Structure 1
Amino acid sequence: MNDPNSSVARVRNALLAANHADTISEFPDGTRTAQDAANAVGCTVAQIAKSIVLRAGDEVVLVIASGANRIDTGKVAALIGRAVKPAEGRWVRDTTGFAIGGVAPLGHAIKPHVLIDRDLLTCDPVWAAAGSPRHVFRTTAQDLVRLSGGKVADVREDKA
């Protein structure tokens, strides 16, 4: 992607501004789902830092979770002190500047409230979306916390 205004360029610029190497890779077959991304990069699904966008009224709540986990929206609501609901694709694009499948943990149009799945801290490296459903970047869980400004929390749905 050579468009300097693209979502991928925004992520690249945010990485560089945060003193993080440009580790963005493109995978033509896509990285839309955690499983797709894990297959593309050759890692476990747990190492994929998937971005889940929720709504708390008009506020963006970004949950960055291990690809192996489902999110407990009740836990998320308790952590932020407000009810949350899934966000519709158009709203996600309009408010974050990213399409679903490419929502990055940084470079958002507006600053989201960010929660990071505690389970990601056990993974090294981790891979996160880089602005499109074909781009990811490699990082560490600690850098992901730093880059996103997120709060590490227990957001995983408990297994039955």
Structure 2
Amino acid sequence: MSSNLSKSAGKVQTALKELGFELNIIELSDSARTAQEAADAIGCSVSQIAKSLIFKGKISQKPILIVASGTNRVNEKAVKEHIGEKLEKADADFVLEHTGFAIGGIPPIGHKTAITTLIDEDLMQYEEIWAAAGTPHAIFKLTPKILTEITQGDIICVK
């Protein structure tokens, strides 16, 4: 199936298979760059979109991935309490360097380097959620349990 996907979406499909999951990536004709666009294209609620946001630690300069519910804004002070350092916004070059993907299609897995991952506890209430798959047009459906397993992320309150 990945042979029909764009190169970036194919990388995510391969990463899913390597992790032992047969989850299918869908490439949409409409953009899913924002949580609202993704929800509109899929026909789910915005809160079921698992948006992948990359920050960097102010001191460590290491990437931090926060997978948040599409309706939630990340409270950087709450995250600081969990990771022990202040967060900074990551620019597009930093995101690409550490993930291998451009902003607007960051998947929760398949990154160039290992990234500390935090998962919004609000995603846990859904039977199914949707995540980006490497491009602004590529998505895949999964469960919160699978998200936790494939990312090895800590579940926290990000609000």
**Fold match by TM threshold 0.5:** yes
Gaps of 5+ in 2: none
Is the deviation greater in 109-118 or in 50-59? Answer: 50-59
Cα shift readout 1:110-154 (whole Å, capped 9, x = no counterpart): 011100000000012100000111000000001000011100001
RMSD: 1.6
Q: TM-score, normalised by structure 1?
A: 0.92
Amino acid at match of 2:41: A
How far 1:7 sits from its partner (Å)?
2.0
Gap regions ≥5 residues in structure 1: none
Aligned to 1:96: 99
Q: Percent of aligned pairs with the same residue? A: 38
Listed one character per residue, the Cα deviations across residues 45-90 of structure 1 (whole Å, up to 9, x for unaligned) are 0100001110114211000000011100111111111111111112
- Secondary structure of the corresponding residue to residue 146 of structure 1: helix
Amino acid at match of 2:131: A
Match of 1:144 among 135, 142, 147: 147
Matched, 1:122 2:98: no
Per the alignment, residue 79 of structure 2 pairs with: 76
Aligned position for 1:49: 50
User: Which of 49, 63, 67 pairs up with 1:64?
Assistant: 67
Is contact 2:33-2:137 (8 Å) kept?
A: yes
Cα pair 2:99 2:113 within 8 Å, conserved:
yes
Contact 1:31–1:134 (CA under 8 A) maintained in structure 2: yes
Q: TM-score if structure 2 supplies the norm length?
A: 0.93
Seen in structure 2, the aligned counterparts of structure 1 residues 24 and 70 have a Cα distance that, compared at 3 Å, is same
Letter of the structure 2 residue corresponding to residue 78 of structure 1: E
